[in-house]
Structure 1
Amino acid sequence: MLKYFKNIQIQGTNLEIFRFAFCVSFPIATMIWVGIDTHEKLNIPNFRPDPARLNQIPKDPLEIRAEVERMRAERMERRKRLEEKARRLNIAAPTEQQDNKTEDEQEELSNVAGAIVAAAAAAPSS
Structure 2
Amino acid sequence: MGGSNLEVFKFGMYIMFPIAVMYYFGTNLDNRFSVEGFWPNPNQTHKIPHDREDIVSELERMQKQRLERRAARMELEPLDKGEKKQ
The ranges of structure 1 where at least 4 consecutive aligned residues each deviate by more than 6 angstroms after the TM superposition are none
SS of the residue corresponding to residue 47 of structure 1 reads coil
Answering whether residue 35 of structure 2 is matched by residue 44 of structure 1, we say: yes
Tell me what 1:85 maps to.
Answer: 76
Partner of 2:66: 75
In the alignment, is residue 5 of structure 1 matched against residue 3 of structure 2? no
Q: Deviations over 1:46-66 (max 9, x none)?
A: 233222111112222211111
Q: Which has the larger radius of gyration?
A: 1
Kindly provide the amino acid, as one letter, of the partner of residue 76 in structure 1. L
Distance 1:42 1:72, change over 3 A: same
Letter in 2 for 1:65: V
Unaligned segments of structure 2, at least 5 residues: 9-14, 82-86
TM-score, length basis structure 2 = 0.53
Q: Percent identity?
A: 25
Structure 1 residues 106-121: aligned runs within 5 Å:
none
Aligned partner letter, 1:59? H
Q: Deviations over 1:13-49 (max 9, x none)?
A: xxxxxxxxx6xx94xx83x5433x5454234222332
RMSD of aligned Cα (Å): 3.3
Count residues with an aligned counterpart. Answer: 68
